Amino acid sequence: MIVQRVDKEEESPTNIEGINVSEGLDIVDALDLKLLNDRIVVINDDIDPWIAGKLTRIFQVLSMEQKPITILISSNGGELDAGSTILRAMQNARARGCKLTGEVRGYAMSMAAVILQHCDKRFAAPDDVIMMHGPTGSTFGSIRHQDEDAKLMKRAMSSWAHFLAERNTSTDSRYKDKDFWYGWLMDNLPHYFLGHEALEAGLIDEVIL
């Protein structure tokens, strides 16, 4: 008996910025890959060291080409250290010539709102929510150590206030005053803005539908 060999059709690899990824991905991985091929980064989880590491790798790869990157944000925020790591990765991408567009998808709160502010263009829909507040945390150890932690937190708030004033695009001059933002950050209350309110406060550049 003669058995004719039938070759399987070769599976074409999926490609992301020159990196070959074999087929057999689950639906979530496949969707993520498609988004990354389109240079779209999604932040839809709490910001922690794992997310920071993942996004650092993504920005490092995408910034190999001087093309725009879109960041879709749906996050309650998270840890200050992890957020700072993401901001550093974004700064590196911008230094390499990538323009960053941030778009709120539902909500951008706390550290997620800070990430939005570090984008070149910032967008939100009318019902999207942006929430700003000062950094929070806990400290332990000797009184001296706790005092040093408190000083570091105040320096962080001063730096954020200066950045928010410089980055602000409002026509209302009070939002361009770093003392205004420092007072808001120091009261440590959550300050909420819907789309048009965020536009008025200079926290976004355009309200989209």
- Taking the C-alpha atoms of residue 59 and residue 207, their distance in angstroms, rounded to an integer, is 26
Which pLDDT score is estimated for 134? Answer: 75
How confident is the model at residue 199, as a pLDDT? 97
Report residues of the chain scoring pLDDT below 70. 1-26, 135-141, 145-147, 149-150
Whole-prediction pTM = 0.81
pLDDT at 146: 66
CA distance 74 to 197: 18
State residue 133's pLDDT score: 86
Q: Please answer whether residues 116 and 102 qualify as being in contact, where contact means their C-beta atoms are separated by less than 8 angstroms.
A: yes
